Amino acid sequence: TAAYALAWLWIFNPLFGPLNLLLRAVGLFPPNWFIDPLWARPALVLMSLWQVGEGFLVSLAALQDLPDEIEDAARIDGAGSWGLFWQIALPLMAPILLLLMFRDAILTFQESFTTILLTTDGGPYYATYTLPMFVYEQGYDLQAFGTASAALWVVYGLTGAIVIALWVIARQWQIGTTDETFVL
């Protein structure tokens, strides 16, 4: 992630970065990506889009792994492309999509820290200051190990709560229940 963050730091460079050179070439006024508080977060979001390719490839592999017999049977029963996707392909791909969802929820807290530390260090004007940055600042900069430890437990708790919430939602979707028959 360090090399990736430094590469994006070069891409978003306001003076000689290729993205700003491209924007100038087409007649647009390029923003100061990591200097302007309004553009720092969008730059981090753009940086995180590189991970979409991995999820896309895993999803494509899962889609290609679906049995042809099921698709043929659905076509014989009169399913169109849209119905085939929503009623057949998506439910069969649900375990893979669920795994990707859990992975991304957990990695969000981990992967964003190194990128933010190397590109903006939580700035400008705390625009990209996150809870993992707070833990780092408390532990390493201020030597407040108790505060850093407590904040880290909050990070663990939030991550666990998000994963449990996603699991409950996925379980309810898998069972097909409503609020009246809520099952864990």
pLDDT (tens digit, 9 = 90+) per residue, 135-173?
Answer: 999 999 999 999 999 999 999 999 999 999 988 888 887
**Res 182 pLDDT > 70:** no
Long-range contacts of 51-55 (CB under 8 A, 24+ apart): 51/104, 51/111, 55/100, 55/104
pTM for this prediction: 0.76
User: How confident is the model over 13-27, as a mean pLDDT?
Assistant: 94
User: How confident is the model over 27-35, as a mean pLDDT?
Assistant: 94
- The rounded percent of the chain whose pLDDT value lies above 70 is 95
> What domains does the chain contain, in order, with CATH numbers?
2-129 (1.10.3720.10)
**Res 176 pLDDT > 90:** no
Name which of 119, 99, 97, 102 is nearest 48 in CA terms. Answer: 119
